[in-house]
Each structure stands twice: as C-alpha cells, then as structure tokens.
Amino acid sequence: MALRRIVRAVAQRDVVLSLAGGGGWLQGIVFYAVFVAFMAFAFGPGEDALRRAAAPTIWLATLFAIQLAASEMFIEDIQDGSLQTLAVEQTSLLGYVIGKLAGVLIIVGGPLIVAAPIVSIMFAVGATNLAILLPSVAMGALALSLAACVASAINAALQGGGRFTAILAAPLSIPVLIFGIDATSLAIESSQIWSVEMQFLTAMTLFLMAIVPGFSVLALRLGLE
Amino acid sequence: MKSICSDKVSLQCDEVACARGGVMVVGGVSFAVGGGEAMLIFGANGAGKSSLLGAIAGRIPLMEGTLNWAVNDDVLPQRQFASNIAMLSHDGAIKTGLSVEQNLLFWCRIYNKPRTDLASIVERVKISGLEHRRAGTLSAGQMRRLSFARILLADRPVWLLDEPTASIDDGGRADISALIGGHISDGGLAIVATHEALDVPHRSLRIG
Amino acid sequence: MLSYFSNPARFEAFARWASPLALLVLFGCLAFGIPMGLYFSPEDYQQGHTVRIMYVHVPAAIMAELVFGFIALMSLTAFVWRHTLADACARAAAGPGAIFAALTLITGSVWGRPTWGTWWVWDARLTSMLILFLTYIGYIAVWQMGTDENKSARLARIVGLVGFINVPIVKFSVDWWNTLHQPASLLRADGPTIHSSMLWPLGLMALAYIALFSWFVLSGVRTSIYEKQIARRAQPLASRPIKPEQMAAGDQNG
C-alpha cells in the first residue's frame, strides 16, 4: 500500500540519517542523561526524596528530550527541497508526516523508553518488576511526539527556526504530563498498569493521533506556498 | 522503451495569476501544452518564473484564472494528477548526510521502483563511480546531476524543472538538454523555468 | 449573518454606528457599575472589602473563556467559508482575550493574598486560566511571527481550533490533578450564593467588558481593512507574458 510504503521509506531514511550524521539519536539520550543527573543533584541523595521524584523526572526528561529533537523535525526537509518535492509529486503528505513521527519515536523515543527503568533504579525505586512503568512511558513518548509534531509543523510554516515550538506544544502537553506522571507513579508504587490515569493518558494519545497528522499536513502545505 | 508516456498528458492555462506573500507576482498567463512538447519559461530574476512553476505544480494556489491538467483529455484535480509529475525544485532534494546511493534508494522506495533501475540511471546522468560518496562531498554540478537521476527514476510523464542548469558547466548543460530532448521524444512533457536557452526543440513563454 | 458581514463595505457601514454604540454602552455601564460595585454594594461578611475585586475579576474570567470561543468560531468560519474578515475578527479578539486572561490572573492573585494568605496557589481554576493565557500567547505569536499575512491567517485558524478543543481537556486534567494532589483545605472562589445587591454591579461590569471587547474587535477589523486597502495600492505591478504567441512561433526550432 502506498501510505505504508512512504511511511517506511521516510522513517528508514531518518533513522539512517541520524546514525550516519553523527548523532541525532545521541543528542536526545545525552540530554536525557544530563537532565536526570541534574534532577538527582536538585533533590539530594536521600532515598525518600528521590523515590518521590522518580516519575516526574522520567517524564520531564522525556518531554524536554522529545521537544528538543522534534522542534526542528521538518526544517531540514524544507531547506533541502525534499518536502517540496514530495508535496508536488505525492497525492498526500500523510505518509510523510507519519513517517517523520515514526522516525522521532525510533530515534529519540526508543532510547528514552529503554532508559526509564534505569533511571527508576537510580532513583531508589524498589519495585520488583521495573518493566511495569514501560507502557505509560511509551504511551507518553507517543503523545508528546504528536504534540511536538503539530507544533513543529506550524513553526516550520512560520519559518520560526524552532524557537517557537515549545510555546505551541505546551497547552497540548500539559494534560499528557498530568495523567502520565500519575500513571507512572501508580505503576511504580502499586503495580497498577491499567489505572484510570493510564486510561486518560491513552484517551489523550488517541485524541492527538486523530487530529495531529491532518493538521500537520495542512500546516506544512501552507508553509510551502 | 518506456510505457509512461502511453497516456497523453496535457496542461491548459487560462489567464493564470499567482501571488507570493499576498502580492501578485505574475498574471495573465495563458497557454496549452501537451505530451511531446517542451516549454521553456524565460524571465529575469524575480520575474516570477518559480512562482509560476509552483502554481503549475499545484504548490501555490492561483489568484486568478484556471489551470487544468488532463490525462487522455480527462481533466483531473491537481492532487490526483500529482502522481504524473516529477519535480526538480531549486534545492535538489538531496540529503547531504547520505551517500549518493542511499539518496536514490530512498526515492526508489517513494516511487516504488526496483533498485535494479539505479545502475542504468546513474550511468545516464554520468555520475557512475560516485555511488558510495557522501552527497555532501559532491560538487554543485554533480549534485545537480544527482537530482536529475531522481527525475529519471520517478519515470513520470510530466517534468517540472526549476533552473535545471544552475551551477552546471557547458558539458552538463548539453547533457541535461539531451535528457530533456529524450523525454519529449518519448512523448513526455517538460516545463522548464530557466534563464538561459537549452538546446531542445521547445516553445517559449517570456515573462517580465 | 456571518456571510452578510463578510463584505468589507457592509462591515464598515455596520461598524460606523456599532463602534460608537459600544463605547456608549461601555461608559454607561462603567458609570453605574463602578460606584455600585466599589461603594454601594455590601461588603462580604468574611472577606470584607476584598470582595470588590470580584467585580473586575469574575467578568474578566468569563470573558477570557468566551473570547477564545469567539476566536475558535471565527477560525472555523474562516476555515469553512474562507471569509477573510473572520480571520481579522479572530486576530482583533486575541489581544483583548489575552489581556482578560492576564487580568484574571493578576486580580485573582491580589485577591488570594488576603484571602488565602498567598499570592499564588495551584488552584484548578487559576491553573487552567494560566494555561489558557499560554494558549493566547501561542495564538498571538502565530500572527506576530509570520511575514506573510495570508499564511499567518491560515495557520492561526489551525492554532485557534486546536487550542479551543484543548481548553476543556486542560480544564478536566487540571481539576483531576488538583483534587488528587491538594486536599480541599483551601477556600474555593465561589463562596456563598450571591445577593442581588452584588448581582447588579456584576452584571453591569460584565456588560461593560462585552462592550469594551466589541469596540476592540470592531476597531481591529476596521484597521485591518484599511491596512489591506493601503497595501493593495502600494503593490508593485505583476509580471506578464511578453507576446506569448509570437514568441512561441518565432522560437519553434524543432
């Protein structure tokens, strides 16, 4: 199918580019590690304080790492003419946008999701099974990437150079953050995976999945005019 | 040799005007072209060649007039017609971080073409031997040839070319003229925005 | 009705009498509302004179939310029917809307100091108003950032619509977050039922806010109409084809 073919092609290209270009994928995870270390310094080495800070730290680090990476996700394709070519030659840009999102999730989201249990060990979380926080963090990475995607598309259309994405993404990210931190806390503290918070987080993610690709395509096409 | 041009494509423009930044840059353009023809759009810098080409490509909305693409005399909406167009934009759609081959492989997937097509195309645009070089290390002329390889790979009846001979030497210009000539003698249609003459049988539109 | 006003000339004719009328209503309401609110209305048995902040705060809060609804409605109108005047309305509404939201936050904070003993609490309403304010800032920034007015207008439609859909989600999530993390030890802004001696000045002040907002929107849209007329006059001449038929015949060399 044409859509799946384009999604795969774009995602694959972005992954190869980030591996070849000396570190798109590194940028996210390094930022994440630095942020986590700073939070540990901020909260002090006391185990109680660290345990309470575990879920917020994971979430804020994920939010900022994704926003950092996604804020310029379309700029390069606009500057080198790739996006213009695709917009003219393809019937739809939907596959392209989904491919870009998949690329961000693989390049930035993937390492962050893997790092979340490691952070929770470092933050003195005593849960026996650390994989229990993965579903909420993975869902959150998806939702936050979606929020950053539409903000980045609007920003690119305005030729804003990436500075502006955070302001546009903030209102969309706040509900994700609120439910996400609670969902992860509950997973850590009482091994609840499918908590009410997780259900709301899922609902928010589905909502963003429904509106983000369409509006992003619209904004990108506008930017090309 | 190819089947792409078995369908007859045509474009009809009537009193087309298009804007850039809300200001009309080019207006009153009327012409009709069909398969087997090349049309060269001449004009000074800033005359609106690129904008007109953008309007023809469906990227820039029209301010006035009508623009109809047709396949075998059936008029198609621009979005549906898009899959008949190969576009060479001002920037060549090249990822400098990828090798020549990786660049072309990406477009192979986009156009759904087998990678076995690549060898002959690389030869036709005369960049064989450079396949494993990083695109960022190519000269401007070689870059232009690489973007032309993508146009050949797309294998589509309509070529829209924006300054195909920019930053290219005399030999390169002859090669590109030959490629365009080959395309129209296969029954394809080429619309080229250019500031210099190309050695192909063509009709011209001067704006200014 | 919306289509009726999509014509600039008709809008101008409407604004010519509606604009002074809005000012008249504004000053009329203020003339009665301010003395009633600040002097004649009773003070609260718990809060004393602080309650008078309510006459500024409550209408501002209501307007801040209504105005974003207005922006969304105008964005939708522009989106569906391509009325560019609707874009101008949305643009003109954004500034006052942001000021209403800021005013709500500031007066809420001033009121919170004597009542709650602190300038700021992460009360659910204050928090969602803060996020609404952020949304306004984002919306305004889209208009400010772009170099091409036409493009900014169409991007602003997207931001207006997405932002509007997001408002109830934010409200819900902030309510959830607030009740979960803060036990209900704080006073809520709604208190006892409102006596009619307070309702009158409140209603007048709300009307004054609406009149002020209408005046801002009418003036903003008129300004944008004039700006467009000036820009059209200053436009450079577009390129035209140079004798296309002759050229085409002359250059034919195949």
Containing A15, the helix (H) or strand (E) segment is helix A2-20
B82: in domain: yes
Residue ranges of domains in chain A: 2-224
- Specify the pLDDT at position B5: 58
Q: Are B200 and B184 in contact (CB under 8 A)?
A: yes
Mean pLDDT of chain B: 90
How many structural domains comprise chain B? 1
Q: Nearest CA of chain B to the CA of C167: how many Å?
A: 32
The reply to whether B61 touches chain C by the CB within 8 Å rule is: no
C239 three-class SS: strand
- Specify the pLDDT at position B2: 46
- Cβ distance A84 to B59 less than 8 Å, yes or no, reads yes
C contact chains, 3+ CB pairs < 8 A = A, B
- ∠ CA C215-C217-C218, nearest 5°, is 65
Lowest mean pLDDT among B1-10, B83-92, B105-114, C225-234: B1-10
Which CATH number belongs to the domain containing residue B64 in this structure?
3.40.50.300
Structure tokens at A111: 């390492």
DSSP, residue by residue, chain B: --SGGGSPEEEEEEEEEEEETTEEEEEEEEEEEETT-EEEEE--TTSSHHHHHHHHTTSS-EEEEEEEEEETTEEE-HHHHGGGEEEE-SS----TTSBHHHHHHHHHHHHT--GGGHHHHHHHTT-TT-TTSBGGGS-HHHHHHHHHHHHHHHT-SEEEEESTTTT--HHHHHHHHHHHHHHHHTT-EEEEEESS--SS--EEEEB-
C48 three-class SS: strand
- Cβ distance C242 to B208 less than 8 Å, yes or no, reads yes
Domains and CATH numbers, chain C: 22-183+206-236 (1.20.120)
Q: How far is CA A152 from the centre of its chain?
A: 12
Find the CB nearest C166 among A154, A159, A171: A171
- Specify the pLDDT at position B1: 40
Q: Are C102 and C95 in contact (CB under 8 A)?
A: no
Q: How far apart are CA B29 and CA A116, in angstroms?
A: 60
Q: Are A110 and A89 in contact (CB under 8 A)?
A: no
Q: Nearest CA of chain A to the CA of B204: how many Å?
A: 23
- Specify the pLDDT at position B101: 94
pTM for this model (two decimals): 0.91
Structure tokens at B200: 């192909």
Characterise C82 by phi-psi region: left (phi > 0), alpha (psi -120 to 50), beta (else): left
Query: Which residues in C lie closer than 8 A to residue A218 (C-beta atoms)?
Result: 158
CA dihedral sign of residues B179, B185, B188, B193: positive
B2: in domain: no
ipTM computed for the complex = 0.94
First to last CA, chain B: 39
- Cβ distance A178 to C131 less than 8 Å, yes or no, reads no
- Specify the pLDDT at position C184: 43
What phi and psi values does residue C215 have, to the nearest 5 degrees? -60, -40
Structure tokens at A96: 């392209």
> Tokens 């090798």 map to which residue?
B99
The reply to whether A164 touches chain C by the CB within 8 Å rule is: yes
Q: State the pairing for strand pair B38-42/B203-206.
A: parallel
CA dihedral sign of residues A80, B165, B17, C254: negative
Q: How far apart are CA B22 and CA C59, in angstroms?
A: 39
Number of Cβ atoms within 10 Å of the Cβ of A192: 16
Find the CB nearest B90 among A16, A81, A88: A81
Quick one: which of C122, C102, C113, C124 has its CA closest to C57? C102
Say which amino acid occupies B70: A
Buried b (16+ CB within 10 A) or exposed e, B139-167: eebbbbbbbbbbbbbbbbbbbbbbbbbee
Nearest residue of B to residue C150, measured between CA atoms: B22
**What number is the average pLDDT over the span B169-190?**
92
Containing C229, the helix (H) or strand (E) segment is helix C196-233
Q: Are B15 and C228 in contact (CB under 8 A)?
A: no
> Tokens 């955070």 map to which residue?
A166
Length of chain C: 254
Quick one: which of A36, A62, A199 has its CA closest to A142? A62
- Specify the pLDDT at position A222: 92
Structure tokens at A163: 């500075």
Low-confidence ranges of chain A (pLDDT < 50): none
Give the C-alpha distances (Å, rounded to integers) separating A164 from A32, A72, A160, A168, C141: 21, 10, 6, 7, 9
What range does the domain containing B107 cover? 7-206
B193: in domain: yes
- Specify the pLDDT at position A23: 63
| B23-34 sheet: strands from edge to edge | B23-34, B9-20, B62-71, B74-76
Structure tokens at B162: 């924006």
Low-confidence ranges of chain C (pLDDT < 50): 183-188, 192, 244, 246-254
- Cβ distance A154 to C137 less than 8 Å, yes or no, reads no
Q: How far apart are CA C57 and CA C104, in angstroms?
A: 5
B1: in domain: no
